[in-house]
Amino acid sequence: MTQRLYEYWDALRDGRPAPDRSEIEPGSIRSILGDTFILELIDAQTYRYRLAGTRLCSLHCRELKNRNILRGWSEEDHEALATLLAAVTEDAAAAVVGLSGFTERGQSVDMEMILLPLHIPGEGCNRVLGACVALEQPYWAGMHPILSQTVKSVRLIWPDERPAFLSSSMVRRTSTVPNIRHEAGFVPAPIAGNGRQVQHLMVIDGGKS
């Protein structure tokens, strides 16, 4: 689902950092509409759902429209996700996030979310096209709402890069990230290998093909 949405978005932008919001045609992504959403940037701590698909709303057992996507996270994850969304809206980066959702009964589901910038003429990239998909559909979906979420892994893809692939398997491979102490702010520090430590998360940049 996330790969399909990325490929649709990438074809629309046609070499630009991001396509215009008006170019999105729901009929072209009909099969994945239930998992997709559009966010509107209100301020640095508020990214409000303008639209949310039925399957996504069903996982949360509520209509998500007008809700802030940054609600329901720990302080660390809230800060990290807000910074990822800033990279999407300010720098036209694409982000892939591995996350887990939890119900009040302790039930959990692993999900993959993609965040893609959309341009509004005269306003910049203050819309975000996204999708959030459960890796396995839980039996309790629609009965017990997801009330809290945690980030397991993130990947950033910058405008001039192409991802080698976008699959849930990489999210699972990079989902174990150590908790480390960090100063206020979101300051990446180099680490060995292809990733880098950003606060308590491992960021894997998308590579050029």
Q: Tell me the C-alpha distance between 200 and 181, whole Å.
A: 8
The number of angstroms, rounded, from the C-alpha of 101 to the middle of its chain's C-alpha atoms is: 13
Residue 38 has pLDDT above 90, yes or no: yes
For residue range 153-167, what is the model confidence (pLDDT) as tens digits? 999 988 877 665 444
Q: Is the dihedral of CA 92, 93, 94, 96 positive or negative?
A: negative
Q: Is residue 170 a contact partner of residue 52, using CB atoms and an 8 Å limit?
A: no
What's the confidence (pLDDT) of residue 145?
84
Q: What is the mean pLDDT of the chain?
A: 80
What's the confidence (pLDDT) of residue 174?
37
Q: Tell me the C-alpha distance between 37 and 133, whole Å.
A: 11
Residue 175 has pLDDT above 80, yes or no: no
Q: Is residue 132 a contact partner of residue 112, using CB atoms and an 8 Å limit?
A: yes
First to last CA, the chain: 21
For residue range 87-121, what is the model confidence (pLDDT) as tens digits? 999 999 999 999 998 988 888 889 999 999 999 99
* CA-closest candidate to residue 94, choices 167, 29, 157, 173: 157
Containing 90, the helix (H) or strand (E) segment is: helix 75-91
Residue 168 has pLDDT above 50, yes or no: no
